[in-house]
Structure 1
Amino acid sequence: MTGMTGWKRGRAALLGGVVAASLAFTGQPASAAPYPGGSGAEAASGTMNTAFAEAATEFDVPRDLLVAVGYGETHLDGHGGRPSQANGYGVMHLVSQPEHKTLERAAKLTGESVADLKKDTAANIRGGAAVLRAVADEQGLDASDRDSLAEWYPVAAEYGAAANDRTARLYADTAYDLLNKGLRAQAAGNEQILVKARKVTPERGKYASIASDFGVLSDDYGPALWVPASTSNYQTGRTAAINKVVVHVTQGSYAGSISWFQNPSSQVSAHYVIRSSDGQVTQMVRDANTAWHARSANASSIGIEHEGFVADPSWFTDSMYRSSAALTRHLTAKYGIPRTRAGIVGHSEVPGNDHTDPGANWNWTYYMSLVNGGGGDPGPGPGTSFPTWGTGVSIRQAATTTSAQVASLAGPTTVKVQCQKRGELVNYQGYSNDAWSYLPDYGGYISNIFIDVSDAWLPGVPNC
């Protein structure tokens, strides 16, 4: 909802209709070492890895849980100490709200200043670990329980400072989905943060009987879940006809935004919220009522919030784009809104607003092509630059369909990659890059991509 600046991951630019990219691997990443207290996975050394390992050891919190909770909230980006829309700070999203004060609690538990907890990544991670341990103690987890990831589920649920138990389950489910799937995140300076996939069956305790999908569907839009915002955060009825859709970015997580709109002190809301990972839609204000999301446009618009942060394009997934576009198609048809950039606008474009969302990383060309019924192609987006994998590693491109032509490009040797699934990260010797997420989709896979002229396959890339 509020614009932020920060480091950005570049996207691979596209040339014409058919694109091939070659990657030159000339440098070697820093040597990997097992992280203390980990589960056998390895991660490159670095400032954030050290902070997670040390905080996990100090407070006897599972390192991977600590990472998963942080990633679910912020994708491990502290945003320079600037707050989320729910007034949460840092990688671990320590909040300072009237009803929930994990930021202030972390300060008391660690002796760190509030200012350092907001801006210093290591202090913030330490604060998050301290709060998790304090909640674990309150819930009666003993030393044996703390060794089991499954036992930490209710702790993760409470850590999110949710407005109710259903939203708390959303927090915890996000973290445990990440633990089961594993993750490889890229922090500032190309530092790799790894969590090894493993099967964890959480002990949900009181949350076991609570439906994770809220169980009620929207009357206004069939695919959406219905989770009402606090009645203190919107106005019943409208004073103007609906004539536009306003696109927002939450500046926070999906669960966090839902919780914030349920918090009567927030005084903000939106009609719909969309999840990054799979495009799940939750409606929080009925179309016929006036959500408080865009000041001068409130009375005449429908507001759609998209999970993520303006400065980090990793949140803007194809699933999110397609789900949002389907919703916008529905709304424009229902209310006679033109499917143009006059009828579908960004928050920053509404008169009287000081917000910058959805920002430069939002791909309007692709989004509008989907809204208008085209398959579309995400393309490079505004301000695209070539991704960087590390020292001496860069993206090269050429409009070609053969490995021989790609191999003839200037640079070191290459490894052929075919059938790389679209949207997945490509991993190589500790480096990870999402450039492939933005290349054309041919039947679920990217074609015409060749890396290296040898017949070796990259580790972790499916051999189709």
Structure 2
Amino acid sequence: MKKPLLFWAGLLCLSPTLQAQTAPSTAISAETPYAADFAAAYRQYPEIPRGMLEAVAYTQTHIRHISADEQPSCTGMPLPFGVMGLVAEGKNYFRANLPLVASLSGVSEEEIKASPRSNILAYAAAYAKLAAKRKLTAEEPARHLPVLIALSELPLQKDAVSNYALDSHLYSVVTFLAKPENRQRYHFSDYRLNLPAIFGANYRILSAGSTRVSNEGVEGDGRRYNPDGSAQSRLESTDYGPAVTDFTTCNYSGRGGVAVTHYAIHTVQGTYAGCISWFKNCSSQVSAHYVVRSSDGQVTQMVSEANKAWHIGSENPYTIGTEHEGYVNDASWYTTAMYSSSAALARDIVGSGYGISGLRAFYGAATTGTYSTGACVKIKGHQHYPNQTHTDPGVNWNWEYFYTLVNNAPTVSMLSAASGYVYDAGGSAGNYPDDVRQSQLIAPTGATSVSLSFSSFDLESGYDHLLVFNGSSNQAPLLGKFSGTTVPGTLTASSGKMFLELRSDCATTRPGFAARWTSTGTSSCPADTYEANETLSAGATIGVNVNNSAYICPTGDVDWYRFTSSSTNNNIRITLSTLPLDYDLELYNAGGTLLYSSTQASTTDESIVYNGAPAATYFVKVYGYNGNTSASSYTLRVSTQASAWLVARDGATYASRSSKATPTQPLVLMTNPVEAGSKAWLTVSGYNGPAELSLRNAQGQPVGASIHTELAADQPLGYAVPPSLQPGVYFVTVQLRTHVEYLRLLVQ
């Protein structure tokens, strides 16, 4: 079923199934934006590394032509022009790079503004001229950073913040060139770019989940940004720990005793790096508390929450504001990473004691205009505040999705009977209260469909809503969103599960609703004491060192479990056994990040080992490969102990050779995962003698020099992992006298 397609795929535990799942993300479209114009530029100017023009264009505009009729930024930042995002007038702060490009290329500024092709070719001509002066070749894009700096609009001031903003721009360009999917889509070579080597110690900050800016400099990932690339120090944000801090020294004031009661969402109408730099410009007279990057959701804090940022005019005194990189009429900037990061920031603000409830986040339709939602809605867009003219974040911001991310842990009432009655939070007789978020999951055992018929319905029209989903959560397809007094027709969930969510605002209650559900299906699925547990948030609690029996049944069933590890017995082994069909196993942290998976073929037991696991809550997911279901049970066991597990050989924890061992061959095991700069421990059984160790990346390319050593049976050997390694999957070849072992190495 899951035999390796290629040798390297086998070493890295990849399967035909996994490759099929990832294929859509790397599919090449028939035509990329302005492909003919970029191709003409590379033909005319071979000094430019292929992909470089697209990298700059994507960083600046997502490869979209910005015309003069684009909506201006609510921050006052100057708008760029064209596909390459060139600034005509820097407002005495940014460098005007459009006149520079015009001068170097010989193309008029007006033509560069008006024509996407002229914009691209003029930038390419300017780039080629600067590259030729430095005698740069297209084969070494890492040496082209001086050209990118020369053609950027960002100021060249010698303070840490200005340097950080410029480095952030360069990081975005180089990261674009390093991504395999971009190489495939835009047809350029693998330049083997080593980002940690390019950006040095500052790489940790540039790639951090969030950063913080202050008068003292820029910090992120526990390090201080250094323009010289050397000094490091740890300093966390006083407001939002994950943020890089880059506090502006101006463009803010005190709140004058006014309490924070609201949170505002903005769109920059420009880039992340440009916004950070603009807020540091004391002549701009604008700022926001935070800025969020599109590509990976990095957050930079610019103003302390205790102070008043200047982002929303007359509403500044009582608001906290966050700018999001991008443009209101280009949905591609609003990435999953940006939504997730922005929602995490909003949850932090909700929990910071201001009295801002996440349940009062706006979840209505996105619009192009401005209108005031009233004071009840606490988390909303710039366009939703009174006395405003700007319409960000605009029609492309997904408010419903953002609402569910902010309120990501609802309490769900489970209804598993074949039929029954369901009511609003006020019950069968009373009104529902204010500020309600009531979640109910109707999931009859073995049901193939669920139908809901209302006998009464009365919600405050336009303000309170009932949302009904065809599935086990509010991420399932929406069957309807209802308000007012019109009784909905009969609703049917073809999935066999129906999720209901009632939301009410801060004023005016009504009688609510009453409805009866019925279901159809089979009773062939045995009773499962853990159901319904189809989502991470609904994961059933299980103990450690005990067996748990459950079922993947009916079709589409997925089982989630949660357990907590201790600081003493912090070595975890998870096994999935007595499998009736091919089932798979995954381990997640409390934040929903996949840590490990086990995908053995057929009914082979699945096993995951996590040695040295921090004391925390973890989640286990069990599901049928290719939709497998069965009325026969499986056994799940979470085992913990004080000593490390040393015998796992399934590829999820200890990587073993790709070929099958004979009984007489030595066996080499390696501990996983490890951090760059630390040691992985090798243990060999049945062998004493010399060995040669070499490290390779996921493409099979050597990383560093080979190491000659001596191995002794059952004596652990520390293998030093290079500190410059990026997180990812690698493998170590161990050449013995008898044969070669291939060990997978997971670097965190």
Q: Shorter-normalised TM-score: what interval? A: 0.5 to 0.7
Hey, what does 1:245 align to over in structure 2? 263
Corresponding residue number in structure 2 for 1:8: none
Q: How many angstroms apart in 2 are the aligned matches of 1:178 and 1:444?
A: 35
Residue 273 of structure 1, CA deviation = 0.9
More displaced 10-residue stretch of structure 1: 58-67 or 348-357: 58-67
- Measured in 1, the distance between the counterparts of 2:272 and 2:163 equals 15
Instruction: Give the aligned partner of residue 310 of structure 2.
Output: 292
Q: Partners of 2:403 and 2:196 in 1: how far apart?
A: 43
- Counterpart contact for 1:271–1:284, Cα < 8 Å: yes
C-alpha contact 1:151 1:202 (8 A) present in aligned 2: no
Q: Cα distance, 1:238 vs. partner?
A: 4.2
Instruction: Give the length in aligned residue pairs.
Output: 347
- TM-aligned CA deviation for residue 76 of structure 1: 0.3
The aligned amino acid for 2:247 is P
Q: Within the alignment, does 1:337 sit opposite 2:356 as a pair?
A: yes
Q: 1:243 to 1:336 in 2, by over 3 A?
A: same
What one-letter code is carried by the residue in structure 1 that aligns with 2:404?
S
Contact 2:97 2:152 in 1 (8 A): no
Aligned-partner SS, 2:51: helix
For the residues of structure 2 that align with 1:308 and 1:352, how far apart are their CA atoms? Answer: 24
Q: Decide whether aligned partners of structure 1 residues 43 and 157 sit closer, same or farther in structure 2, where only a CA change above 3 A counts.
A: farther
The match for 1:63 among 32, 50, 60 is: 50
Residue 260 (structure 1) aligned with residue 260 (structure 2): no
Q: Secondary structure at the match of 2:34?
A: helix
CA offsets 1:331-387 (integer angstroms, 9 cap, x no match): 122211132131011011112221111112111112112212348766799xxxxxx
What SS does the corresponding residue of 1:353 show, helix, strand or coil? coil
Counterpart CA distance in 1 for 2:256 and 2:38 is 48
Q: Deviations over 1:395-452 (max 9, x none)?
A: xxx9679xxxxxxxxxxxxxxxxxxxxxxxxxxxxxxxxxxxxxxxx9799x999xxx
The answer to whether the 8 A contact 1:225-1:283 is kept is yes
Aligned to 1:151: 143
Aligned to 2:39: 53
Tell me, what secondary structure is at the counterpart of 1:309?
coil
Question: Are the aligned partners of 2:105 and 2:126 in contact in 1 as well (CA < 8 Å)?
Answer: no
Q: Check conservation: 1:88, 1:94, Cα contact below 8 A.
A: yes
Do structure 1's residue 217 and structure 2's residue 215 form an aligned pair?
Answer: no
Question: Which one of the candidate residues 364, 374, 384 is aligned to 2:399?
Answer: 364
Quick check: 256-265 or 350-359, which moved more?
A: 256-265
Alpha-carbon distance change, 332 to 203 in structure 1, aligned in 2, over 3 angstroms: closer
Residue 273 of structure 1 is matched in structure 2 by: 291
Instruction: Pick one of 243, 248, 267 that aligns with 1:229.
Output: 248
Counterpart among 106, 110, 116 of residue 111 in structure 1: 106
Q: Residue 92 of structure 1: which of 78, 84, 90 is its match? A: 84
Structure 2 match to 1:350: 385
Q: Distance in 1 between matches of 2:29 and 2:104?
A: 28
Residues 180-219 of structure 1 show CA distances to partners (whole Å, capped at 9, x for unaligned) of: 114459xxxxxx75555552236978x6464543435311
For 1:258, the aligned partner's letter is I
Letter in 1 for 2:386: P
Q: Deviations over 1:31-73 (max 9, x none)?
A: xxxxxxxxxx998568712211222343432231111111112
Partners of 1:194 and 1:298 lie apart in 2 by 47
CA-based RMSD: 3.8
Whether the 8 Å contact between 2:33 and 2:63 is mirrored in structure 1 is no
Distance 1:303 1:47, change over 3 A: closer
Q: 1:142 corresponds to which letter in structure 2? A: K
Cα distance in structure 2, aligned partners of 1:114 and 1:72: 21
The answer to whether 1:73 aligns with 2:92 is no
Bigger fraction of residues in helix: 1
Letter in structure 2 aligned against 1:55: A
Give the aligned residue type for 2:407. N
Distance 2:99 2:494 in 1: 54
Contact 2:83 2:120 in 1 (8 A): yes
Q: Among 114, 118, 141, which residue is 2:134 paired with?
A: 141
1:274/1:444 CA distance change after superposition, 3 Å: farther
> Are 1:61 and 1:146, in contact at CA under 8 Å, matched by a contact in 2?
yes
Report the secondary structure of 1:290's partner residue.
strand
In structure 2, C-alpha distance between the alignment counterparts of 1:111 and 1:254, rounded to whole Å: 30
Aligned to 2:336: 318
Contact 1:154/1:204, CA 8 A, preserved across alignment: no
Query: In structure 2, what is the Cα distance between the partners aligned to 1:80 and 1:379?
Result: 38
C-alpha contact 1:151 1:203 (8 A) present in aligned 2: no
Contact 2:86 2:153 in 1 (8 A): no
Partner of 2:679: none
| Stretches of structure 2 lacking an aligned partner (at least 5 in a row) | 1-26, 156-161, 207-217, 219-223, 225-234, 363-376, 411-472, 479-492, 497-619, 628-748
* Secondary structure in structure 2 of the residue aligned to 1:345: strand
Q: Tell whether the 8 Å contact from 1:227 to 1:282 is kept in structure 2 after alignment.
A: yes
Provide the C-alpha distance between the structure 1 equivalents of 2:306 and 2:384, rounded to a whole number of angstroms: 23
Give the Cα separation in 2 of the matches to 1:112 and 1:400: 60
Correspondence for 2:697:
none
User: Paired residue for 1:200?
Assistant: 193
Q: Secondary structure at the residue paired with 1:63?
A: coil
Q: Please, what TM-score do these two structures have when normalized by structure 2?
A: 0.42
Is the alpha carbon distance of 1:247 and 1:46 closer, same or farther for their aligned partners in structure 2, counting shifts above 3 Å? closer
Deviation at 1:149, TM superposition (A): 1.4
Structure 1 residue aligned with 2:165: 167
The structural deviation recorded for 1:278 is: 2.0
Three-state SS of the structure 1 residue aligned to 2:405 is helix
TM-score (norm 1): 0.65
Asked if the contact 1:153/1:202 (under 8 Å) is kept, the reply is no
Quick check: 1:156–1:171 contact (8 Å CA) kept in 2?
Answer: no
**Local SS of the residue matching 1:265:** coil
Bigger-Rg structure (1/2): 2
Paired AA for residue 261 in structure 2: N
Cα distance change on mapping 1:323 and 1:379 into 2, 3 Å: farther
Tell me the amino acid that sits aligned with residue 274 of structure 2: G
- Distance, in Å, in 1 between the alignment partners of 2:339 and 2:107 is 40
AA aligned to 1:181 is K
Distance of 1:217 and 1:131 partners within structure 2:
41
User: 2:50·2:138 contact (CA, 8 Å) conserved in 1?
Assistant: no
Q: 1:127 aligns with which of 122, 127, 144?
A: 122
For residue 79 of structure 1, what is the amino acid of its counterpart? Answer: I
User: In structure 2, the residue corresponding to 1:260 is in which secondary structure?
Assistant: helix
Alpha-carbon offset, residue 302 of structure 1? 0.4
CA distance in 2, matches of 1:378, 1:309: 26
Q: Deviations over 1:153-188 (max 9, x none)?
A: 233244333342222111111111111114459xxx
Kept after mapping to 1: 8 A contact 2:288/2:302 = yes
Letter of the 1:101 counterpart: A
Give the partner amino acid of 2:243: A
Alpha-carbon displacement from aligned partner over 1:240-291 (angstroms, at most 9, x marks no partner) = 2111000011222222221222233332211001122222111011111111
Moved more, 273-282 or 53-62: 53-62
